[in-house]
């Protein structure tokens, strides 16, 4: 994957609206897109802000909502109302082709772009048949639910597989992305890197982003 096509999407894993607003203000003049983690405490053992709480948010940043929830369909209307650009659902939420296709079709009726995600334990082959129906494939490089986890190197093989199957698709990786793992992910074929700790722990968000970008340029 050519590095000039690689984008960094800061991860907004926020428990409260106040925390979300603070992190959004930090990044919105430095990035084109960001990922908002939505967790229901059922699909993963953690909870975050709900899309309905973000309805009045105004920002130039394209927000992609990663729906780490039991039933992503329940969140579509609120994602649309709050101006989301894309919804990313997890294969593991449904594991059923008819339900997956139904969700994709419903998201399209809301004029949303759609991504499909897989957890570290899920083989890439499980989503191969759906790749032509979505805009993005997300390979989780950590177990979903909490930030600051250690990158799982074995997940990169799934990135390579998906890149072979879909040469022009956006492939995103999420979890444990930092100066050492970012170039590995790009080399494997990822062109969207979701990073949280590496960006927000830096002295400034701008420095964090520039440091990360320098590793794969």
For 125, which DSSP code? G
Q: Is 201 helix (H, G, I), strand (E, B) or coil?
A: coil
| Residue ranges in the chain assigned as alpha helix (H) | 17-27, 76-81, 91-94, 97-109, 156-165, 181-188, 197-200, 205-213
Distance CA 96, CA 85 (A): 25
Whether residue 37 lies in the annotated active site: yes
Strands 7-12, 33-39: parallel, antiparallel or unpaired by DSSP? parallel
Beta-bridge partners for 195: 10
Residue bearing tokens 């080399």: 187
CA-based torsion, 179, 146, 72, 163: positive or negative: positive
Q: Which of 37, 53, 71, 78 is catalytic?
A: 37
Distances (CA, A) of 43 to 46, 130, 203: 9, 21, 33
Q: What residues are annotated to the active site?
A: 37, 174
């Amino acid at each position: 994957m050519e590095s000039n096509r690689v984008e960094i999407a800061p991860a907004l894993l926020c428990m409260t609206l106040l925390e979300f607003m603070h992190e959004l203000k930090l990044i919105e003049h430095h990035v084109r897109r960001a990922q908002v983690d939505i967790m229901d405490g059922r699909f993963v053992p953690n909870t975050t802000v709900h899309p309905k709480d973000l309805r009045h948010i105004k920002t130039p940043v394209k927000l992609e909502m990663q729906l780490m929830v039991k039933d992503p369909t329940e969140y579509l209307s609120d994602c649309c109302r709050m101006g989301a650009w894309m919804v990313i659902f997890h294969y593991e939420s449904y594991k059923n082709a008819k339900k997956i296709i139904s969700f994709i079709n419903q998201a399209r009726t809301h004029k949303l772009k759609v991504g499909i995600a897989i957890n570290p334990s899920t083989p890439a082959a499980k989503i191969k048949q759906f790749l032509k129906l979505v805009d993005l494939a997300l390979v989780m490089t950590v177990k979903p639910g909490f930030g600051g986890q250690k990158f799982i190197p074995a997940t990169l093989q799934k990135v390579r597989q998906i890149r072979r199957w879909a040469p022009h698709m956006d492939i995103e990786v999420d979890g444990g992305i930092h100066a050492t793992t970012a170039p590995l992910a790009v080399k494997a074929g990822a062109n969207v890197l979701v990073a949280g700790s590496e960006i927000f722990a830096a002295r400034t968000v701008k420095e964090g982003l520039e440091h990360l970008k320098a590793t794969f340029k």
